[in-house]
A and B are shown apart, each in its own frame.
Chain A
Amino acid sequence: SQTIHQWPATLVQPVGSPLSLECTVEGTSNPNLYWYRQAAGRGLQLLFYSVGIGQISSEVPQNLSASRPQDRQFILSSKKLLLSDSGFYLCAWARTIQETQYFGPGTRLLVL
C-alpha cells in the first residue's frame, strides 16, 4: 500500500530564517506531487505541483520554492521566512491528474 510522510510535524521559526519541509511517498512510482498551504480562515491553496523529477510548476507567486530531487521526494523551501508564511502545509500525491489526491499528515509552521 502507499503511504505519504511529512516532517517535521511542527516547526517554529523566526522571521528571516530558512525553511525546508520534506515530503516522501512510498509504495508507488512516478506520482504527481503537490504542496498546499492552509492558512487560518482560508481554504487550501495549491502552491506547487510536480509531474516528474526536476519538473516543478508554481501556482502562485510567493516567498517559497519547491524541488523534487528524487521520484518520491518533494521539498518545500524558503531562504527567508515571512510572518505570512505561517500556516499548515500539506503534501499530496496522485497516480494521475484524473485520480484522487492523497494527503499527508501536514506540517504546522509558525513564524515568529
Chain B
Amino acid sequence: KQEVTQIPAALSVPEGENLVLNCSFTDSAIYNLQWFRQDPGKGLTSLLLIQSSQREQTSGRLNASLDKSSGRSTLYIAASQPGDSATYLCAVKVSGAGSYQLTFGKGTKLSVIP
C-alpha cells in the first residue's frame, strides 16, 4: 500500500527566504506526482504535476523535483512571500490496478512571516 509522508509538518520562515518542502513515498511505481496548495477552509489548487518520466517542473517561483527511484520529491519556493502561507500537499498517482487513486500526504503548513 502506497504511503506518502511530508516533512516537516509545519514550517515558519521570514519573508524573502528560499525554502524546500519534502515528500517521500513508499512505492516507486507511480504514474505521476502532484503538489497542491490548500488555504484554510478551502479546496485544493494544483501547483505542479510531474509525470513519472520527468525529473522536474517549474512554475514561476516554484520548482518541483522527482526522484522516483528513491521515492522522493521536493518543492522549492524561491523568495517566499506572506501570500505563500498555506498548507502544501503532495500526492502520488499509482500505476496499475489503482491508477485512479491519488494518495495524499498530510501536508506541510507553511507560514511566511512579513
Contact = CB atoms under 8 A, between A and B. Distances in A.
26 contacts: A6-B43, A43-B89, A43-B103, A43-B104, A44-B44, A44-B89, A44-B102, A45-B104, A46-B101, A46-B102, A57-B100, A90-B44, A92-B44, A97-B31, A97-B93, A97-B99, A98-B32, A100-B34, A100-B49, A101-B46, A101-B102, A102-B46, A103-B43, A103-B44, A106-B41, A106-B43
B41 A108 contact: yes
Given A97-B99, A103-B45, A105-B43, A44 B32 contact: no
Contact of A104 (B43, B91, B99): B43
A57 B99 CA distance: 12
Interface residues of A, number: 26
A90 B103 CA distance: 14
Interface of A: 6, 32, 41-46, 49, 51, 57, 59, 88, 90, 92, 97-106, 108
A43 B4 contact: yes
